[in-house]
């Protein structure tokens, strides 16, 4: 069975998605909507990391249950950079790039959750299926948020 390998990849990908959302939050601190919502969405991925580590033991994987943490110095630097850039045109382009990155990472995570859910159904592992369905639904919401913000912001940023 290769489910353990998918769980390992998903663990890594959810960590990266959480990290990316936190970076977006810090880079765009002056935009309170982005700042707070991205942090909330990152918490979902951090919880997914814990859930994956918990269930992965059944598939021979020992994964760290704690989400990857970043040095506080880098966080402060990004936040300070956000404050200095404010709402200048370059900040808008950076926002679109960051949202695109979140969207792409969440698409990949969504595909992994879908594969895992299909495997769980195939082997009739209800605990794994429940985790996959619940976490996948939140990942889809992360993906839709990034896509929605891209749609909302693109015209104004790119045409101005």
Please tell me the predicted confidence (pLDDT) of residue 45: 98
Within a 13 Å sphere around the CA of 79, how many CA atoms are in the beta-carbon half? Answer: 11
**At 73, is the pLDDT very low, low, confident or very high (cuts 50, 70, 90)?**
very low
Within a 13 Å sphere around the CA of 141, how many CA atoms are in the beta-carbon half? Answer: 14
Identify the structural domains of the chain with CATH numbers, from first to last: 3-159 (1.20.1260)
As a whole-number percent, the residues of the chain with pLDDT over 90 amount to 83
Tell me how many degrees the CA angle 28-96-155 measures, rounded to the nearest 5. Answer: 115
Considering the entire predicted model, what is its pTM?
Answer: 0.86
CA 153 – CA 28 distance, rounded (Å)? 13
């Amino acid at each position: 069975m290769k489910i353990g390998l998918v769980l390992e990849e998903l663990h890594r990908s959810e960590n990266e998605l959480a990290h990316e959302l936190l970076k977006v939050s810090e880079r765009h601190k002056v935009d309170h909507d982005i700042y707070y919502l991205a942090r909330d969405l990152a918490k979902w991925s951090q919880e997914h990391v814990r859930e994956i580590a918990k269930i992965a033991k059944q598939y021979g994987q020992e994964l760290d249950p704690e989400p990857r943490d970043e040095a506080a110095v880098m966080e402060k630097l990004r936040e300070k950079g956000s404050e200095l850039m404010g709402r200048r045109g370059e900040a808008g382009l950076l926002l679109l790039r960051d949202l695109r990155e979140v969207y792409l990472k969440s698409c990949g995570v969504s595909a992994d959750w879908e594969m895992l859910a299909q495997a769980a159904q195939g082997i009739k592992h209800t605990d794994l299926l429940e985790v996959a369905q619940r976490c996948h639904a939140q990942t889809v919401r992360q993906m839709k948020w990034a896509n929605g913000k891209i749609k909302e912001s693109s015209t104004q940023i790119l045409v101005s």
